[in-house]
Amino acid sequence: MRSTECGISVIPHSVLRIRNMLEKNTLSLGLLIGLLLPLVAFAIFYGLYELLETIGAVSDVGFRPKFRERTCGILAIAMNAFALNFYSKRKYHNTVRGLVILTTVWVVVWLVVFGKHVL
């Protein structure tokens, strides 16, 4: 943020555009967030796990196959709960519908891919 001479903060135009884009009640926004948020979260969690393994803080030894991928995947899917809470508090029902649709799809995909490793 930039400041004016009198100490008042001025929000950059690009930040306002992103904020306005995310404050809409549309099914397509919910689908987009429901798709991208878990993908980005998975990459972050997986990278964090790799970093922790590199420094010796965690290990896959003694766990079932695909433990890292399963854990990062389910945590990434769970990140949609924060978006669901945010948009349901604002009563953006169409955005929430999109998030619920994609969250359900992600859960089904997780069960198909990792169900045999869990059961």
Average pLDDT of adjacent 10-residue blocks, the chain of 119 residues: 57 74 88 96 95 87 85 96 95 96 96 86
pLDDT of residue 103: 97
Contact 33, 95 (CB under 8 A): yes
Residue 22, both tokens? 């995310």
β-partners of residue 2 are 10
pLDDT of residue 8: 63
Could you give the CA distance from residue 86 to residue 75 in angstroms, rounded to a whole number?
18
CA 41 to CA 61: how far, in whole Å?
24
Using the structure block, give the residue that is written with the tokens 């997780």. Answer: 110
The predicted pLDDT at position 64 comes to 81
Task: Indicate the pTM of the whole model.
Answer: 0.80
Beta-carbon contacts of residue 2 (< 8 Å; ≥ 6 apart)? 9, 10, 12
